[in-house]
Amino acid sequence: MLEQIREDLFRMQDLTYRDFQSRLLPTVAPETLIGVRTPALRDYAKRLGKTEDAAAFLQKLPHTYFDENQLHAFLLCEMKDFERCMDEVNRFLPYIDNWATCDQMSPKVFKKHRAALLAQIPAWLASEKSYTVRFGVGMLMQHFLDEDFAPAYPDMVAALRSEEYYVNMMIAWYFATALAKQYEAALPFLENRRLSPWTHNKAIRKAVESFRVTPEQKAYLRSLKIKGGKA
């Protein structure tokens, strides 16, 4: 079964795309990239997910290839049973080693079970695994910045401290998005310098690039940049 899936992936290989991906994924060993384009991989996951082979594939951890990890993530995205999906997500998270797999794993079923999803997020944020933390912040950003927003959620993100670039980048992305969607609630975190200097400045930089932030808000945000904080 695994060999057949791997043969299918190599049959969809695009070497130009593989080389392009390699430049975007510095944490992934180039020899583990097959080079399957994302739309093709998503379509394959939908087909595979309807077969008994999907469950067997999900048990085969760790995977050898980046594209197999992507396939694993996309299979979880299509899973309809929330409890089983959450169990599988938690089993898979420790094996994620790159931002793409982390960010593209967004199970559709989570939207229907936000209370149970929220209960899991603190454990992800407390993880020693960088991409598990990034995933937790990503879930707060995707699901809890609109009608289900509460001021406690940006507090959870602001409390994080990490030396990992991909964690800090996600924190910045979260606050930039929060400034676009919940400006009044997010602004004090920058006014009071609740974030590390680099993350603070990166959040401002990303926010001022957003069309959802007004020109007046952008001007004020620029005035809050921390000198020497770079980003």
- Whether residues 64 and 137 fall in one domain: no
Picking from 89, 112, 135, the residue at the C-terminal end of a domain is 112
Residues 61 and 147 placed together within one structural domain of the fold: no
Residues 31 and 86 in one domain: yes
Of 112, 147, 166, which residue constitutes the final position of a domain? 112
Residue 228 pLDDT exceeds 90: no
Mean pLDDT (the chain) is: 97
pLDDT tens-digit map of 27-82: 999 999 999 999 999 999 999 999 999 999 999 999 999 999 999 999 999 999 99
Residue 54 tokens, joined: 């999907």
Residue 211, domain CATH:
1.25.10.90
Considering the domain architecture, whether residues 120 and 95 belong to the same structural domain is answered as no
Q: What is the pLDDT of residues 145-164, one digit of tens each?
A: 999 999 999 999 999 999 99
Q: Are residues 199 and 97 in the same domain?
A: no
- Scanning the chain, the segments in alpha helix (DSSP H) are 2-11, 15-24, 38-48, 53-59, 66-77, 82-92, 99-104, 114-125, 130-143, 152-158, 165-181, 183-191, 197-208, 215-223
Choosing from 96, 112, 128, the residue where a domain stops is: 112
Domain range for 95 is: 1-112
- Asked if residue 9 and residue 99 are part of one domain, the reply reads yes
Task: Looking at the structure, tell me whether residues 6 and 77 fall in a common domain.
Answer: yes
How many independent structural domains does the chain possess? 2
> Quick one: pLDDT at residue 230?
73
